[in-house]
Amino acid sequence: MDDINKYVGEKIKYYRTRSNFTQQELGEYLGTTSQTISRYESGILEANHEILFKLAEHFHISINDFFPPLNFDNATLVNIDTDTVQIPVLGTIKAGIPIEAQENILEYIDIPKKWLRGGKSFYGLKISGDSMYPKYTENDIVIFEKNEDYISANNKDCAVMVNGFDATFKNVTISEAGITLVPLNLNNNDNYLPTFYNKEQVESLPVKVIGIAKEKRTRL
């Protein structure tokens, strides 16, 4: 048995038990069996880097945490993950009619640290519905820059709050008369149509841009 496999396996077991996951639950997350997890943890089976990256994301740690610390004379250890940070995927946003915004954290995903320059901040939301099809599809994760500036949001795909608690995902058009939320999927059987709110409605409801789409992540 390779010593490094045994070390990595012990770390997998440590982080699994620390997170209160059973071998079966972790196996289901990886799309495998509890027996395979047991073989990883005992060092009999080598966990490849793809598996370790998935586990690191699941446990909210660096992949480096699975390996022994490196000690080199007259050398500096560089963490390979220093160029990324993790942001929360806060819940589901409806690409259709507005629904109540979700605040539960579904998972964490990595973004480039350079995106945060200038004090910017980001969050993710999972897409439900097909009003923004084909550009966005069901279960895509969209990363939003927190931004409430209507000028910046014009002609952009945005998360928008309506009535103070309903969130929807639409392309935003700003005019002197008000704001229009435009679905991209206009050739559909669900009668998705642009929705216009005049200035008075924008203020009274209110209608508020809460994020501008930066990037989408599609999983196979």
131 is catalytic: yes
Q: Which of 131, 152, 156, 199 is catalytic?
A: 131
Rg of the chain over Cα atoms, rounded to whole angstroms, equals 22
Selected catalytic residue, list 170, 208, 214, 216: 170
Q: If you write DSSP's letter for every residue of the chain in order, what string do you get? A: --HHHHHHHHHHHHHHHHTT--HHHHHHHHTS-HHHHHHHHHTSS---HHHHHHHHHHHTS-GGGGSPPP--TT-----TTTTEEEEEEEEEEESSS-EEPP-S--EEEEEEGGGGGGG--EEEEEEESSTTTTTS-TT-EEEEE----HHHHTTEEEEEEETTTEEEEEEEEE-SSEEEEE-S--SSSS----EEEEHHHHHHTTEEEEEEEEEEE---
Q: In terms of Cα–Cα distance, which of 51, 50, 49 is closest to 37?
A: 51
Exposed, middle or buried by CB within 10 Å (0-12, 13-18, 19+), for 156?
middle
Active site positions, annotated = 131, 170
